[in-house]
Amino acid sequence: MIDPSRHAVLWLLIAFVFTTAATRTTTRYIRHKADRAEAYLKENAEPGLIRNIVVAGIHVHHQVWGILMVLFSGLLLITYLPERGLALNVLAALFGMGAALTLDEFAMWLHLDDVYWQEEGRQSVTALIVAVTITAALVIGANPLDVVPTGNDLPGALLSALGIVNLGFVVVTILKGKLPTGLVGVFVPLVGIIGAVRVAKPGSWWAQRRYKKDGWLARRAERRFDATYDARWNAIRDIIGGRPYPREQMREAVREQMKAARVRRQELPLERAQARVARQARRRERLGDMPGAAQRTGSTRAGDERPPEEP
């Protein structure tokens, strides 16, 4: 059974997973429509309810709504500090939804570029997997501040020492180029220990400074993290997030999108002026169709006529 104190975290996890699934399904559907229209990432390639949100010619990414939801729910949590119950669960779910929308475009705000469907976009899927793993660990009772289960008789000094040792394993894991494993290791000590003991990734800080060039550890690292390793993990990421586009196709698509956005910004002032003129014309037509409008207009004009002045 889940500890009642973790029910809010459970609702956060449920909302996070549901929002992630809904978001990835939606983005893949929009991509499918764009592919069928032979206009990759073309705004509103096909009419319909499910499409990209465009405001004033700018594609508003869903991370914007996620950031707003995280800020709003976090502000309410800090302001009112709701006790365990419905209010806390609702705010936790809202926070989870916002976090999912934000992390789904993690690669975009990491690279400050629209890499959602590029190879770099797979980093967003990795961030989502790490977030789900950490949250699930918290739901089942993991506590990064207490590496030993509660109810033990160990002294506080020993518990603190174990926490410091676990933190050391986490740091080593990160230095070995395994950032996701290290983050999970903060909450699940066994994962951090395994990541620290196993060989480092080639090119990581640890491998460059601790492994001799052409040494047996360097060769072992190359065998461990070869192309097969990357292909296996990329296949898992592609199942969750979708396969990225070839780089050249993506560059051409981005150029077309930027060109369309510039044209759209140039056309907006003219469209707004035309819309304003159309609204004024409709307003005049409505006034002209009102009962007695013609008589009032005629009488007003007649009343405005003045007799000629006598010489």
Mean pLDDT across the chain, nearest whole number? 83
Is 272's pLDDT higher than 50?
yes
| pLDDT value of residue 163 | 81
* Nearest by Cα to 51 from 38, 32, 66: 32
| pLDDT value of residue 145 | 62
DSSP letter assigned to residue 199? P
> Where does the pLDDT of residue 66 fall: very low under 50, low under 70, confident under 90, or very high at 90 and above?
very high
Contact 237, 126 (CB under 8 A): yes
Is 40's pLDDT higher than 50?
no
Query: What would the DSSP string read from start to end of the chain?
Result: ---GGGHHHHHHHHHHHHHHHHHHHHHHHHHHHHHHTT-TT-TTSS-SSSS--EETTEE--HHHHHHHHHHHHHHHHHHH-PPTTHHHHHHHHHHHHHHHHHHTTHHHHHHTS--TTSGGGHHHHHHHHHHHHHHHHHHTT--TT-SS-TT----HHHHHHHHHHHHHHHHHHHHTT-HHHHHHHHH-HHHHHHHHHSPPPTTSHHHHHHSPTT-HHHHHHHHHTSHHHHHHHHHHHHHHH-PPPPHHHHHHHHHHHHHHHHHHHHHHHHHHHHHHHHHHHHHHHHHHHSTTHHHHHHHHHHHH--PPPP-
| pLDDT value of residue 116 | 92
**How many Cβ atoms from other residues are within 10 Å of residue 155's Cβ?**
9
| pLDDT value of residue 101 | 97
Task: Please give the residue that has the higher pLDDT: either 201 or 163.
Answer: 201
Task: Please give the residue that has the higher pLDDT: either 74 or 53.
Answer: 74
Contact 244, 118 (CB under 8 A): yes
Task: Please give the residue that has the higher pLDDT: either 152 or 217.
Answer: 217
Contact 256, 245 (CB under 8 A): no
Contact 204, 224 (CB under 8 A): no
> For 89-114, how does the pLDDT look when each residue is reduced to its tens digit (9 = 90+)?
999 999 999 999 999 999 999 999 88
Is 302's pLDDT higher than 70?
no
| CA distance linking residue 249 with residue 118, whole number of Å | 10
Average pLDDT over residues 239-256: 73
Is 296's pLDDT higher than 60?
no
Q: Name beta bridge partners: 55.
A: 58
Rounded to 5 degrees, φ, ψ at 56 are 55, 40
| pLDDT value of residue 43 | 47
**How many Cβ atoms from other residues are within 10 Å of residue 95's Cβ?**
23
> Where does the pLDDT of residue 41 fall: very low under 50, low under 70, confident under 90, or very high at 90 and above?
very low
What Cα–Cα distance (Å) separates residue 295 from each residue in 127, 130, 232, 292? 71, 75, 82, 5
Share of residues in the chain with pLDDT > 70 (%): 77
Rounded to 5 degrees, φ, ψ at 261 are -65, -40
| CA distance linking residue 48 with residue 46, whole number of Å | 6
